[in-house]
Amino acid sequence: MTRLPQQPGPIGVFDSGYGGLTILHGIRQLMPEYDYVYLGDNARAPYGPRSFDVVYEFTRQAVMKMFEMGCHLVILGCNTASAKALRSIQEVDLPQTDPSRRVLGVIRPTAEVIGRLTQTRHVGILATEGTIKSQSYNMEIAKLYPDIQVTGVACPFWVPLVEYNEADSPGADYFVKKRLDQLAMLDPHIDAVILGCTHYPLLMPKIVRYIHPGIRIVPQGEYVAESLRAYLQRHPEMEAKCTKGGTVAYYTTENAGRFSESARLFLHEDVCAHHVTLAEY
């Protein structure tokens, strides 16, 4: 493998597509002084239906690419990658590649805060099929709060609704209401629902419309950002490796023009993306 740069560099945020932009937005809102690199593997999205082995390999390739770009710290701003690849990358790849580098996910930070957001101790998870099947949220929450009962529902059509700019369409109402009703039927005592996919905040107006009264909606962006800030405060040696120029660069494995156009839906600002190719390492 190519020798990795050792000088300080940007914080990396990876996602299989566009959803991680909601994580990047939350982080930049809280910590605008840092430099960031965003990489979307749009050419191979979605990751949700793919096997553990495939998601791990794709995610590993992206992480290595971001290391080559100068990142010492990479956030997997993708629930599926966090569920299916994070542990293997942390336990297998980092010790072999560079033990000083770090890769963090989005599931643990959300699990950490859920204990203070529920009164009934009944929590719902709305996520992709892959994340629900992995039981990652159930396991992380059980470690921290054994008294909380977790119920998950897969929402297979929600990501395409967002990525094809149909989040505001009348047709989206049916799919959003269907899954929220399903969750309420499975456990009527739920009082907090985690949006376990980074695309889902763009469906927030529909979710608010159809979610049952009294249920708190828990998007991930702000909690991941708070967790990252606390992590850097606890680890000054890593914080020193993160440059502070207030810049952000965007990369995609798909068409850069299409990415730039679609990214505006998530960020509400102009984006100039660049194409990148991921390869085996």
For residue 29, what are its two tokens?
């809102």
- CA-atom Rg of the chain in angstroms: 18
Could you identify the residue written with the tokens 């159809």?
Answer: 210
Helix (H, G, I), strand (E, B) or coil at 13: strand
Known catalytic residues are 78, 197
Alpha-helical regions (H) of the chain: 20-30, 52-68, 79-84, 86-88, 94-97, 107-114, 129-134, 136-144, 158-163, 170-186, 204-210, 221-234, 236-239, 256-267
Quote the CA–CA distance of 259 and 274 in Å, as a whole number.
Answer: 9
How many residues does this entry show for the chain? Answer: 281
Closest CA to 242 of 231, 251, 232: 232
Closest CA to 206 of 155, 241, 258, 263: 155
